[in-house]
Structure formats: C-alpha cells, structure tokens
A and B are shown apart, each in its own frame.
Chain A
C-alpha cells in the first residue's frame, strides 16, 4: 500500500508538468464552432485557447473557493484541426500534483453554462468527453392537457345528447296530446276532412232586412 502510494507520488511528480492525453486526470474537449455558428463562426487560435484556459480557471476558482487558480494551472496538449485538445488542471497549493478528475468534473458541471456562453456554444457543440450534459427534464404540466380537451368535447357532446333526447320527448308528447284531441273530436262528430262542419253561410238565402228597406 505504502509502496503504491510512493510510486504514484513519484510518477505524478514526474508527469505533473507534462500534459498527456489519456492520463487519468485529463479530459478531452471538442469544439464544433462552425456547426454552432455557421457563417458567424470565429477562427480558433491561441487567443481563443487562452480564453478557454481562463474560463476553466474561473470554474475551478468557483468550485474550490479560496484556491486562486490561474491560466498557468491549466495545461493543454494535443490540439488538432478538429478543434479538440486535452487538458489537465494543476493544483494551486501543490504545483506538482494534478486535480483529480472528479473535482474537475464537478467544477465544470457547476459552471457549464458560463463556459458555454463564453464561447457562444452549447452542451452539444462544446463537448467535454466523459462529462454528460445534465438532461433537461421534459416539461410536464400540472393537468394533462388532453384531459382538458376531453372534458370540453364530452361537455359539448353530452349537452347535444340531452338536447336531442329532450326535444324528441317533448315532440312526442306534443304529438300525443294533439292526436288525443283529434280523436276526442272525431268520436263525437262525423269528420269529413277539409270541410267546415258548420257549413258556409250562404248569403243568397239570408234575410236582407239590414241592407234594403223598401
């Protein structure tokens, strides 16, 4: 156990100043600037890299409050045309040791949004390989909207059914009373359809005393 610790210390001491890809404390970063910004993409150069190191130092300062990280604490290597590179973080208190992966990860997760904004990129276009972006939980409204729509439709349909059934019942009742009235009339008198039972007053047979007085 003690030997392992010694070897580890020795190794990290030797390698502390040397940034190596695939090292246990190193992270790979990949930027897709042209995909994110299209025509307004800026070219990646050393100044941009300097900004990156500065933002990382900022993230580390935020996370490990008290320790004043500087640009020189951020080691970068293996830059490619893709715009990808590896970086490691040196400790402030002990310049020969590197900050462990977990701390670096936590620091980046905390300040992820600020790092992204500094480069006008997103979680997908500024990738830290190994650090998964926190998933935005899908928006779930309080009442499922479909229940509201369902309620509205059922209300309208229910009203319609009630209206039609009531109208049918009323119509049937009205027809029944009309039929009953007709039957009652028809039972007492001889009904001839279309003719007035009382007859038409035929003026030629009437007494015309009112009209002519001779």
Chain B
C-alpha cells in the first residue's frame, strides 16, 4: 500500500540527513541532551510505568479470565503497543522537536495534533497530580502509630463510635470523611478543604522543583523515582508471600477462564490498557526521544521499554493480589469467627465446638433443631470470592483495600510508608512526562516570549494547573476527578494516536520514514513493522476507538456517590449525572479531539487570505536559514 497524500514543502521544514549529521558533530544549540542512555531509558520507563500498572492492570487481569487475559494483552502489546511506541521514538529522534514542532514540520495543517496532545497532557496532568496529592496526604499520615485509618473516632458524647464509621469501616471513613470530606453529589460543591489544598501545594511544588530545568533536573530525579518502585514491589512480594492467604490471591488472579476470550470486551479492555499504559499520544515520549543523538537505536529502545512495561504490569499484579489474598483471608476468617461466636452464644455450646471445618455441618444440625433462632441471628454468608473481588481497582484499591491490609500487618506504619512512597514515585515519574508534554509544545508554539527561561514556563504551567486543580480540593472533588479520568484521558488520546499513525505513515510517507530509520540506526525496519504500521495498528486503533465511543455513548452516564442516607450504604450508590455535566464532558473529550480539524481549518483560512505573506514567512522559517544565521539565535 503505497498510498501517500501530497505534502508539498516538506523538505524545507525538516532538517535533512546532512543537517542532522552536522548538528550531531557540532553539538549546536541550546537543545538539551541526555547525560547518558540510562537516564533516557529510566525516564521513558518511569513515564510508561505508572499508577495504572498497579491499580488498573491487576483488576482487568482478574476480571477478564485471569491467566487467560495474558493472551489478548500480549498479542495487542506486540501488534499495537510496540509499533506505536517505535513510531513515536523514531519521529521524535528524526525531527528533533516536541510534539507541536514535529507535527508542524510534517505539515502545518497537522499542528492541531500537537495542540490536542498539549491539551490532553494539561488536563490529565491536572487530575493526576491531585491523585499524587492524595498519596502525599496518606504518606504524611503514615508517620504515626497506630495509623489514623485503623480506628474510628468517638462520637460527640463519647458513648460510641461515630455512626458513619461504625456502619462502614475505619478505612472507608478515613478515606471518604477525613481525607475527602466528600459531599453527596457532584452538584453539591462544598467548600475547599484546607488540608487538601496543603497537599496539592506540596504536590505541585515538589513537581516544580523536579522539573524546573527540564530533563536536566528530571534526569537526576528518575534515578530514584523509576527504580524505587521495583525495590518496594519486591519487598512487598517477599512480605506478602509469608502472609497467610496470599497464595489464594495469586491463584485467584491467574486462574484462567478461557471463555473470557470469546468476550469482545476483554479484547477491547486489553487494547485500551496497552494503549494507555504506554502513555502514547501525550507528546512526552516524542519530546524525550528528540533529545537523543541521531544514531540512537530507537528500535531496541522501543522493544526494551515495551517488555519492561509488560513485565512490570504482571509483576505488580502478582504483588497486589498476594496482599489482597491476605486481606480477603483475614476478612473471611473474621466473618467465620463472628458467625461461629453468634451460634455458640445463642445455643450455649462450649467453646471450640464449632470450628471452621465443621461449620457447615453444625449449621445444618442447629438449623434443624431450632431454625427460628438461627434465622434471628442474621448470620452473614462468608464468601471468599466476594472478599477477593472487593474494590480492587483505582483509588479504591490503594486507599481502601490496601490500607486495610496494611493495618493488619505487624509494623503497619513502615509498610504504609513504603507503599505510599512507591505509589508516589510511580506517579511522579509519569508527571515528568506530562509536564514535558505541556511545557515543550508551549515553547514551540511561540505564544509567550522566547526570551523567557524554561523555569518560567514550568512555573506558569504548575501554577495554572494548581489553580484550576483546586476544583479537586472541593468536597465534590472526588467526583470531578472520576469525571476527568473517564473522559479527558480516554477518547482524545485514541483520536490523537490514530491521527499520529496516519500522519507519519501517509502524510510524512512510509518510504521517507523507512529511509530515515535506515539513516538513524543502520537498517530498514523489517516486514513486521511495515505491516504493523500500515495496516494492523491503525485498524486496531479504529476498532478500539469505535467500540469505546459506542460503549461510552450507549451506557447511561452515571457515577458512584458516597451517601450515608442511601439504602445501599456503605456500598456506593449509582446516581445519574446532572445535566450541566454533559457540557463538561463535551469540553473534556470533545475540545481536544476537535482541535485537530479546527486548527487545520484555521490554517487553511489563514493561508487563503494571507497568501503573499505566507511565502516570505516560510523561507525565513527553514532550518538551513536558522543554522547559518547563528550567533545569537
């Protein structure tokens, strides 16, 4: 398929191979460079490996057939993830610009793709750093024994525990009341929670100090933030395997259910997970890759990082589920002992008459003798599977399930600190990529004076994100975050990813791209890459996009609220969104996606009415002109 759309003037906009060689030897300019390969790899790994590996993948794995989920995951990793990653690395390394610069070089009409990346990076960064603030809050609260989420506070007249806490659990209460102070709906904004604002300040200033000089500072920070999570995961694995019930959890995770493979949602979720897990379409990876030397082997890098990302997902799933297995076993044991105690007390049987082993027999026997009394006890059914499948994704996993498991482990504060430091590092290294994906395009767009140093761009980004992110410090902040998570970070990314593929393969030209790669790494990409880039990956992207769109639009738009007055309390209640939220959803998902055609249209109109100016500005913008007019450029 040698389809190629006409693209005049491409050679004037991009550096030629000779220019690249010259830039390589001269080391011209103020473009930052990586200190060494390890920094680059650690930064990319840090960007890709994030909170999703820890709290999204394990849930998907377990709910879609356990071990069998590996099959669609690995297939889509190879067919969708690696080609897209390779493409982003290669184009960044070749054109040596951030996302806006790259797409503008390929064709000025495509600048919208870069702008969409910028917008999505900004929106996602806003809410992602709020999760970091929550993690920091828990981290700050972990330096005490007993941990604050292990006890309920007493009510006003000290006769008993606070009602909300007694009805749900200590961890639920600490999360929903003492951390979020959540309201009963998204329309009930509540006020700003001062402790949340403090945590947000801490998160944004810490991020600022790490990204203040771009990769100069982040390159040093990633030595810790990208490696510490693996150390902590290993510590948790060793600890987890010594706890009772951990093997139950791991078995539950990996037990294959091959029937799930017939379900299209499994494949859809696997594809979406691969796509989001690689942090594609944010623009950060293109930026990072552009700081490499021209002859860096980006093919090797792409394959290596994909393998690391996949393995990390599986490894962290194992660790998480070993701890979940422990917690579920503890809950199950508690449930059983509760029931046994109730039966023994009611029937005045001697202790240890009923044990876990003969519970069922004893229950049937007692039920035959006195069914009315047995009924009046309201015995709970203790189901191990139920405990294993409780709230095991997203913030629920980290702040409710895992914290509960931690308080049952000896030396809880230490485990809490370790866990939250790990989550913090995972999130921080992802935020580095997000900031890169906002600051560099902002610099490329020339909307602000070029004389302003990078520190100011970074400060502006962090400040504005913090100011707008204060919405997440309201009492309804949790609901806003879920909204952002569902809509800002999903459909626009798929659209951008698809457009990136089309742009590089059909507008830039696959032939030119192949030659570029041959120039950079010494050999042309083989037939697998050709087929993947031209046919397979775009098709997969289209399928996922369509299915995603259809499922999002068709299902009723609801969200879960924490309402003490609801009947299902302490389970979260499903509520429909109020009507104004639909406008917000359109802004979050629609505006980045629509900016691609919108900008193309704008450029088209601009060209049309200012045709004579256009030629002049083109000639001044070319690379060779820039290189020769050195001095104070």
Interface residues of A in 18-44 (CB under 8 A from B): 30, 32-35
Binds B, one of A48-56, A61-69, A77-85, A90-98: A77-85
Given A34-B352, A82-B350, A135-B161, A161 and B144 touching (CB < 8 A)? no
Convert A157-179 into 0s and 1s, putting 1 for each residue whose CB lies closer than 8 angstroms to a CB of B.
11011001100100010000000
- B205 near A: Cβ within 8 Å? yes
Min Cβ gap A157→B in Å is 5
Given A82-B349, A164-B213, A157 and B205 touching (CB < 8 A)? yes
Interface residues of B in 303-359 (CB under 8 A from A): 341, 344-345, 348-352
- A139 near B: Cβ within 8 Å? yes
Q: What are 29 A-B contacts defined by CB distance under 8 Å?
A: A32-B341, A34-B351, A34-B352, A35-B351, A80-B348, A81-B348, A81-B349, A82-B344, A82-B345, A82-B348, A82-B350, A82-B351, A135-B154, A137-B154, A137-B158, A138-B154, A141-B144, A145-B143, A146-B137, A146-B195, A149-B139, A149-B140, A149-B143, A150-B202, A157-B202, A157-B206, A158-B205, A160-B209, A161-B208
Residues of A within 8 A of B345 (CB): 30, 82, 84
A82 vs B343: C-alpha distance in the bound complex, in angstroms?
A: 11
Residues of A within 8 A of B205 (CB): 154, 157-158, 161
A144 vs B297: C-alpha distance in the bound complex, in angstroms?
A: 52
Q: Which of A30, A153, A158, A161 contacts B212 (CB 8 A)?
A: A161
Contact B140 A150 (CB under 8 A): yes
Q: How large is the interface on B (under 10, 10 to 19, 20 to 34, 35 or more residues)?
A: 35 or more
Q: Which of B141, B154, B206, B351 contacts A32 (CB 8 A)?
A: B351
Residues of A within 8 A of B453 (CB): 168, 172
Min Cβ gap B613→A in Å is 33
A86 vs B160: C-alpha distance in the bound complex, in angstroms?
A: 26
Min Cβ gap A34→B in Å is 4
Min Cβ gap B493→A in Å is 31
Q: Chain B CB within 10 Å — which of A145, A146, A164 has the most?
A: A146
Chain B positions within 8 Å of A, measured between CB atoms, are: 136-137, 139-141, 143-144, 146, 151-154, 158-161, 195, 198-199, 201-202, 205-206, 208-209, 212-213, 217, 341, 344-345, 348-352, 453, 455
Chain B residue at minimal CB-CB distance from A85: B348
Chain A residue at minimal CB-CB distance from B154: A137
A32 vs B202: C-alpha distance in the bound complex, in angstroms?
A: 50
Min Cβ gap A187→B in Å is 15
Min Cβ gap A153→B in Å is 6
Chain A residue at minimal CB-CB distance from B136: A153
Chain A positions within 8 Å of B, measured between CB atoms, are: 30, 32-35, 80-84, 135, 137-139, 141, 145-150, 153-154, 157-158, 160-161, 164-165, 168, 172
Contact A153 B202 (CB under 8 A): yes
A117 vs B199: C-alpha distance in the bound complex, in angstroms?
A: 46
Residues of A within 8 A of B139 (CB): 149
Given A80-B348, A81-B350, A138 and B153 touching (CB < 8 A)? yes
Residues of A within 8 A of B351 (CB): 32-35, 82-83
Given A82-B348, A150-B202, A168-B453, A161 and B158 touching (CB < 8 A)? no
Residues of B within 8 A of A84 (CB): 345, 348
A145 vs B352: C-alpha distance in the bound complex, in angstroms?
A: 43
Residues of B within 8 A of A30 (CB): 345
Contact B160 A165 (CB under 8 A): no
Residues of B within 8 A of A33 (CB): 351
Q: Which of A146, A158, A160 contacts B141 (CB 8 A)?
A: A146
Residues of B within 8 A of A164 (CB): 209, 212-213, 217, 455
Given A30-B345, A161-B212, A165-B455, A146 and B140 touching (CB < 8 A)? yes
A149 vs B416: C-alpha distance in the bound complex, in angstroms?
A: 14
Residues of B within 8 A of A138 (CB): 151-154
Residues of B within 8 A of A32 (CB): 341, 351
Residues of B within 8 A of A172 (CB): 453
Contact A83 B350 (CB under 8 A): yes
Residues of A within 8 A of B161 (CB): 135
Q: Which of B151, B154, B206 contacts A153 (CB 8 A)?
A: B206
Chain A residue at minimal CB-CB distance from B417: A149
Min Cβ gap A170→B in Å is 13
Residues of A within 8 A of B140 (CB): 145-147, 149-150, 153
Min Cβ gap B164→A in Å is 15
Chain B residue at minimal CB-CB distance from A152: B140
A147 vs B143: C-alpha distance in the bound complex, in angstroms?
A: 11
List 10 A-B pairs, minimum CB-CB distance, nearest first: A80-B348, A146-B140, A149-B140, A81-B350, A34-B351, A160-B209, A82-B348, A145-B144, A138-B151, A146-B141
Residues of B within 8 A of A135 (CB): 154, 158-161
A148 vs B139: C-alpha distance in the bound complex, in angstroms?
A: 12
A146 vs B455: C-alpha distance in the bound complex, in angstroms?
A: 30
Min Cβ gap A73→B in Å is 26
Residues of B within 8 A of A35 (CB): 351
A164 vs B218: C-alpha distance in the bound complex, in angstroms?
A: 13
Min Cβ gap A80→B in Å is 4
Min Cβ gap A183→B in Å is 10
Chain A residue at minimal CB-CB distance from B152: A138
A157 vs B137: C-alpha distance in the bound complex, in angstroms?
A: 16
Chain A residue at minimal CB-CB distance from B141: A146
Contact B143 A139 (CB under 8 A): no
A153 vs B136: C-alpha distance in the bound complex, in angstroms?
A: 10
Residues of A within 8 A of B199 (CB): 150
A133 vs B345: C-alpha distance in the bound complex, in angstroms?
A: 18
Chain A residue at minimal CB-CB distance from B207: A157
Residues of A within 8 A of B344 (CB): 82
Residues of A within 8 A of B136 (CB): 153
Q: Chain A CB within 10 Å — which of B136, B140, B158 has the most?
A: B140
Chain B residue at minimal CB-CB distance from A161: B209
Residues of A within 8 A of B146 (CB): 139
Residues of A within 8 A of B154 (CB): 135, 137-138
A135 vs B137: C-alpha distance in the bound complex, in angstroms?
A: 28
In the complex, besides A32-B341, A82-B344, A84-B348, 6 extra interface pairs with C-beta distance below 8 angstroms are: A30-B345, A135-B158, A138-B153, A141-B144, A150-B198, A157-B205
Min Cβ gap B174→A in Å is 12
Residues of B within 8 A of A147 (CB): 140
Contact B144 A157 (CB under 8 A): no
Min Cβ gap A124→B in Å is 10
Residues of A within 8 A of B159 (CB): 135
Chain B residue at minimal CB-CB distance from A82: B348
Contact A154 B137 (CB under 8 A): no
Min Cβ gap A192→B in Å is 16
Residues of B within 8 A of A160 (CB): 209
Chain A residue at minimal CB-CB distance from B210: A160
Residues of B within 8 A of A81 (CB): 348-350
Residues of B within 8 A of A168 (CB): 213, 453, 455
A135 vs B158: C-alpha distance in the bound complex, in angstroms?
A: 8
A172 vs B153: C-alpha distance in the bound complex, in angstroms?
A: 55
Q: Chain A CB within 10 Å — which of B195, B345, B351 has the most?
A: B351
Min Cβ gap A207→B in Å is 44
A149 vs B198: C-alpha distance in the bound complex, in angstroms?
A: 12
A138 vs B141: C-alpha distance in the bound complex, in angstroms?
A: 15
Chain A residue at minimal CB-CB distance from B216: A164
